[in-house]
Amino acid sequence: MKELGGTEALVDLLQALAERGYRFVPPTPETHRRVLSRAPKARAKDLRDVFGWSLPFSEGTLEPEIIARMGAAGVLRRQGQRSKSGVRVASLGSNLFLHSAYPADDGAVFFGPDTYRFVDFLTRELGDGWRPRRVLDFGAGSGAGGIAVAQICHPERLVLADVNPAALRLAAANGRFAGVTAEVRLWDDLQRVEGPFDLVIANPPFIADGGHTYRNGRGMHGAELSLQWVQAGSDLLADDGRLLVYTGAAICGGRDALREALEQSFADGPFDLSYREIDPDIFGEELSRPAYRDVERIAAVGIGVRRRERVSEQREAIQGAKAFLGLVMAGAPPS
Ligand SMILES: C[S@@+](CC[C@H](N)C(=O)[O-])C[C@H]1O[C@@H](n2cnc3c(N)ncnc32)[C@H](O)[C@@H]1O
C-alpha cells in the first residue's frame, strides 16, 4: 500500500463515509468469495459495494466529493474504464476501520469476524472497571482491539505494534478517527519489546500452513505463534497486569494442544491462567486442507493471564514464615 496518502486524508475519507451513514461488516474471505461468485461481472452500485465488497465502479457511481477524498487518501485505483478502492472500510460500534481491499495478499491489513470476536472478548473481560495505565496491542492490524480498549479504559499510553507497516498507517488513521491517541510501532518480536505494560492484548495469526503473514500461526496446527505470544506477553506484565489473547486452537481427538502447553507452562510462577472456548467451531472450510487432516474442529478461545502482585506474594511468604516460627517457639516439631 505504498500509494497511501497521509493520516489526515485517510481520516477525511472515513469522515465522509460516516456522514453518509456507511456501515459494513466484513465476512470471512470464503463467504466474501461465495457472495461475489453469484455475479462475477458485477459493478458497484453504492458505497457498501465499493468499500465493503471491493467491487469495481464506473464513473458517476460515487459522488465527486468521495472520489476527491479517495484521490487525496491515495486509495483510488484506476483499472481501464473502471476504478476500485485500494482499501475496505469495516464498521464496529460507532467506529469505522480502514483495512485491505479484497482479495488479500501477503501485505494485507486484516479485519474480519475474528476481529469482532476479539473485541467482544476484550469488552467482556474489561467490564469490571479496571484501569490499566500502559496498554500494548501486539499484532494490532487495523488497531481495532487497542482502540476498543482505549475507549473502555482510557489508558495513559496505548501502543499499537505490528510487523506490517501498512497496518500501522491504517491503524494511525483509524485511531485518529476514533478520537484515540496511540503510538504506532513497527515491532516483529514480542520477546524484544520493553515492558512493563499493565495490559497486553493480541489476536495472533492461528491458521496452520496459512501462507499470508496475517494468518500463518506456524506449527502446532497454527497455535505456535499464539503460545509464544502468550508466554512472551506475560513476561512484559507489571504487577497485577493482565494479558488477554483471542486465538484459534485446533482440536485433535478431543485434545487441545495449546491449552495443554499453556497449563504446563503456567503451572508454576507468578501467574494465574484462564482459558475458555468462545466458539467451538470456526473456519470449518480449513479442515479440507492437508495441514488439518487430523483436526476435528478449530475452536475460538479466549486466554487470560494475570501476574500476581509481588506485594501480596511477599505478604503470603512472611505470613507462612511467621506461622512456622510460631510453631517452633511453641515447641511443636516442624512438619
Ligand atoms: C489475525 S491478525 C489480527 C489483527 C488485529 N489485531 C485484529 O484483531 O483485527 C494478526 C496480526 O498479527 C500481525 N503479525 C504477524 N506476525 C507478527 C509478528 N511477528 N510481529 C508483529 N505482528 C505480527 C499481522 O500483521 C496481523 O496484523
Mean pLDDT by 10 residues, the chain (335 residues): 84 98 97 96 96 96 97 94 96 97 94 98 96 98 98 98 98 98 98 97 93 91 98 98 98 98 97 98 96 97 94 64 69 55
What are the angstrom distances between the C-alpha of 75 and each of 63, 69, 202, 314, 321? 15, 9, 28, 56, 66
pLDDT of residue 319: 74
Per-residue pLDDT at 265? 97
**Interval between CA 79 and ligand 1 midpoint (Å):** 30
Ligand 1 midpoint to CA 174 (Å) = 16
- The pLDDT value given to residue 335: 45
Rounded CA gap, 173 and 264, in Å? 40
Nearest to 184, CA basis, from 165, 200, 201: 165
In this structure, the residue with its CA closest to atom 25 of ligand 1 is: 214
Please tell me if the CB atom of residue 91 comes closer than 6 angstroms to any atom of ligand 1.
Answer: no
pLDDT of residue 237: 98
User: Which of ligand 1's atoms lies nearest the C-alpha of 109?
Assistant: 27
CA of 241 to the centre of ligand 1 (A): 22
Query: What's the pTM value of the predicted model, to 2 decimals?
Result: 0.92
Contacts of 295 (CB under 8 A, 6+ apart): 208, 221, 250, 251, 252, 287
Distances (CA, A) of 30 to 34, 89, 101: 6, 18, 14
Q: Whose CA is nearest to atom 4 of ligand 1?
A: 141
Q: Which atom of ligand 1 is nearest to the CA of 206?
A: 1
Question: What one-letter code names the amino acid at 212?
Answer: H
The position carrying cell 471491493 is 54
Cα–Cα dist 227/325, whole Å? 42
Helix or strand or coil: residue 143?
A: coil
Cα–Cα distances in Å, from 207 out to 164, 215, 228? 18, 6, 15
| Ligand 1 midpoint to CA 108 (Å) | 10
**Burial class of residue 260 (count of CB atoms within 10 Å of its CB; 0-12, 13-18, 19+):** exposed
- Following CA atoms 274, 278, 280, 284 in sequence, which dihedral angle do they give, to the nearest 10 degrees? -120
Give the closest residue (by CA) to ligand 1 atom 11: 139
Residue nearest to atom 1 of ligand 1 (CA): 205
**Residue to mutate, 89, 99, 164, 189, ligand 1, most ligand atoms under 8 Å from C-beta:** 164
Find the 197 Cα to ligand 1 centroid distance in Å. 19
Q: Whose CA is nearest to atom 6 of ligand 1?
A: 140
> Would you put residue 305 in left (φ > 0), alpha (ψ -120 to 50) or beta?
beta
Ligand 1 atom 2: the closest Cα is on which residue? 214
CB 105 within 8 Å of CB 212: yes
Assess contact for 209 and 291: CB atoms under 8 A: yes
C-alpha to C-alpha distance for 98 and 109, rounded to whole angstroms: 9
Strands 197-202 and 134-138: parallel
Separation of alpha carbons 302 and 274, rounded Å:
8
**Could you tell me if 215 and 207 are in contact, meaning their C-beta atoms sit under 8 angstroms apart?**
yes
Closest ligand 1 atom to the C-alpha of 137?
6
The listed CATH number (2.60.110.10, 3.40.50.970, 3.40.50.150, 3.30.1360.30) that belongs to domain 113-307: 3.40.50.150
β-pairing, 297-307 vs 271-279, is antiparallel
Ligand 1 centroid to residue 229 C-alpha, Å: 11
Domain boundaries, the chain: 7-100, 113-307
Q: 232 C-alpha vs ligand 1 centroid, how far in Å?
A: 15
Q: Is the CB of 188 under 6 A from ligand 1?
A: yes
Q: How far apart are CA 170 and CA 141, in angstroms?
A: 8
